[in-house]
């Protein structure tokens, strides 16, 4: 049943007047009586259209500097009255309250005011009271009232008014109410988040208003949605839309590359770096990153922290990859990269990223701070007889950045600011080490003079023994095992260095 209702009376009170005029003129054409307040009333009058001030309906002026304007029974009674309840209709007649069939109202820009770093008094004044109450009231009574709570819905309302000669159906009113409750709940979440900063309550609330439906989730039989604005994060120059798995890898790539300041390129597969190198020139960084594991690089995500030039683009185009991300590209590089049809080419924009991470788990959600800590040479405490050289310390710093962003259990081999090999996601640390040694040798790398970083402590001395036998000269680990001394003694026995950082970097 469509349950059509013709709009006879409308209340309009908005902060943003953009694209409001066509609706005002259409309501006027339909003979709808318009009630309004303040700036909106002035706007409507300036169009030469009759408008009734809310103060004239309520016989009460706007008070407290505009804080109280519409909070009155003659407004809310007209909105909340149930048209099929005889008692409600009788009370409307008794108190001379008009039925309000359409409410167009938006909210003070609280979220935008917070982002502008305004003073707290200004922020508090942008907590809307009347507007949020009108939205909830009209949305609650959607069986009889249309609520439009965003300028994004003006064109839809205008089309309905024109096509249906001022009538709306129950399904249309319910759809508008659905959108309105989304707006009001998001608004309240933003206010709560503002107050929940200094002494946070132990509750979980998040609200993201933009989204993108993905082709599918992790696998084709799973649905997937990204909540957020990819357009704010990236400018797409070429290729199809990012998939769920692409996004997971891109997130890992962004986190990894942000550890580096010198020209660096990383190649990732399944969130782990299969190649990364820092060099003076970006082309050199690409060639040395690819050399680490050219097999795993196939179909990977590539990220750079420097402009991609034509020479580098030509080299990158020699392999198949899914996504390429950089802060900039030369025009010639773009033309070269676009020659491959199914490559996604993105320019990364400067966007403030969240400092918290959360995910669903069991029957709830877990949340944590992002791992924003990285230990450089100043935080590396030598615990062996041999002290690492300056060059080895730089390589240990490089390796520590990589191991921090690699799946546990993991160890990383590095030399000359280049990833040599890594053992990834193994159930024992010694298995990770063995995997890394095999990988390094399979791609022709000499581990003599390399360094090794571990995301967590060594439970036994076997890892450092195997690493030393492979040619590693310096080892980094957080320490904290009851067997630390056994590993340190093994390093001394093998005449290699060990530094301890005191910070673990598990990644599950």
Which stretches of 377-479 are assigned E, i.e. beta strand? 381-382, 411-414, 419-423, 451-454, 474-477
Task: Go through 242-270 and write b for each residue having 16 or more CB atoms within 10 A of its CB, e for each that does not.
Answer: bbbbbbbbbbbbbbbbebbeebbbbbbbe
Residues labelled catalytic? 140, 270
By residue count, the chain amounts to 508
Cα→Cα distances 96→82, 90, 105, 475, Å:
15, 10, 23, 84
Q: Tell which residue, 31, 35, 55, has the closest CA to residue 45.
A: 35
Instruction: Check if the beta carbon of residue 430 is closer than 8 Å to that of residue 466.
Output: yes
Question: With helix as H, strand as E and coil as C, how does 319-358 read?
Answer: CCEEEEEECCECHHHHHHHCCCCCCEEEEECCCCCCCEEE
Q: For residues 191 and 189, what is the distance between their CA atoms, to the nearest angstrom?
A: 5
**In the chain, helix, strand, coil percent, each to 5?**
40, 20, 40
Torsion of Cα atoms, 205 then 207 then 208 then 209, to 10°: 170
Q: Tell which residue, 417, 495, 499, has the closest CA to residue 454.
A: 499
Q: For residues 508 and 407, what is the distance between their CA atoms, to the nearest angstrom?
A: 6
Cα→Cα distances 466→289, 292, 413, 434, 473, Å:
25, 21, 13, 8, 12
Cα→Cα distances 110→40, 62, 113, 123, 126, Å:
19, 21, 5, 6, 5
Q: For residues 294 and 257, what is the distance between their CA atoms, to the nearest angstrom?
A: 19
> What does residue 417 show for φ and ψ, rounded to 5 degrees?
55, 40
> Residue holding tokens 């590993």?
487
């Amino acid at each position: 049943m469509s349950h059509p209702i013709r709009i006879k009376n409308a209340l309009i009170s908005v902060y943003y007047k953009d694209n409001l005029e066509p609706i005002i003129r259409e309501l006027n054409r339909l003979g709808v009586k318009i009630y309004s307040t303040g700036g909106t009333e002035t706007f409507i009058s300036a169009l030469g259209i009759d408008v009734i001030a809310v103060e004239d309906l309520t016989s009460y002026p706007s008070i407290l500097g505009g804080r109280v304007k519409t909070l009155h029974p003659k407004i809310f009674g007209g909105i909340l009255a149930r048209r099929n309840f005889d008692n409600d209709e009788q009370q409307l007649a008794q108190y001379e309250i008009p039925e309000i069939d359409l409410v167009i109202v938006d909210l003070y820009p609280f979220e935008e005011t917070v982002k502008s770093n305004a003073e707290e008094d200004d922020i508090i004044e942008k907590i809307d009271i009347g507007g949020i109450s009108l939205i909830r009231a009209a949305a609650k009574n959607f069986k009889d009232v249309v609520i439009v709570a965003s300028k994004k819905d003006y064109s839809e309302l205008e089309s309905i008014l024109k096509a249906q000669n001022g009538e709306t159906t129950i399904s249309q009113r319910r759809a508008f109410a659905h959108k309105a409750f989304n707006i009001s709940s998001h608004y309240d979440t933003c206010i709560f988040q503002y107050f929940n900063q200094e002494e946070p309550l132990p509750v979980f609330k998040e609200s993201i208003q933009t989204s993108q439906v993905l082709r599918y989730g992790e696998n084709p039989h799973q649905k997937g949605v990204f909540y957020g604005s990819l357009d704010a994060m990236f400018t797409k120059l070429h290729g199809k839309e990012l998939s769920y798995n692409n996004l997971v890898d891109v997130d890992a790539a962004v986190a990894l590359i942000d550890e580096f300041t010198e020209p660096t390129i990383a190649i990732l597969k399944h969130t782990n770096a299969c190649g990364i190198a820092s060099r003076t020139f970006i082309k050199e960084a690409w060639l040395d990153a690819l050399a680490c594991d050219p097999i795993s690089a196939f179909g990977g995500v590539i990220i750079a922290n420097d402009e991609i030039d034509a020479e580098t683009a030509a080299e990158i185009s020699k392999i198949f990859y899914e996504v390429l991300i950089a802060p900039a590209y030369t025009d010639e590089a773009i033309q070269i990269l676009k020659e491959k049809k199914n490559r996604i080419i993105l320019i990364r924009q400067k966007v403030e990223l969240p400092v918290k991470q959360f995910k669903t788990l069991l029957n709830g959600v877990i949340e944590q701070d992002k791992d924003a800590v990285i230990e450089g040479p100043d935080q590396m405490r030598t615990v062996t007889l041999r002290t690492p050289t300056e060059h080895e310390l730089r390589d240990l710093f490089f390796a520590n950045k990589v191991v921090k962003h690699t799946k546990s259990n993991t160890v990383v081999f590095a030399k000359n600011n280049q990833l040599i090999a890594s053992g990834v996601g193994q159930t024992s640390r010694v298995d990770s080490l063995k995997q890394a040694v095999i990988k390094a040798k399979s791609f022709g790398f000499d581990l003599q003079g390399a360094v090794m970083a571990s995301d967590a402590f060594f439970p036994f001395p076997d890892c450092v023994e195997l690493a030393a036998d492979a040619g590693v000269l310096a080892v980094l680990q957080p320490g904290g095992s009851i067997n630390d001394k056994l590993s340190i003694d093994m390093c001394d026995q093998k005449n290699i260095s060990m530094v301890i950082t005191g910070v673990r970097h598990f990644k599950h």
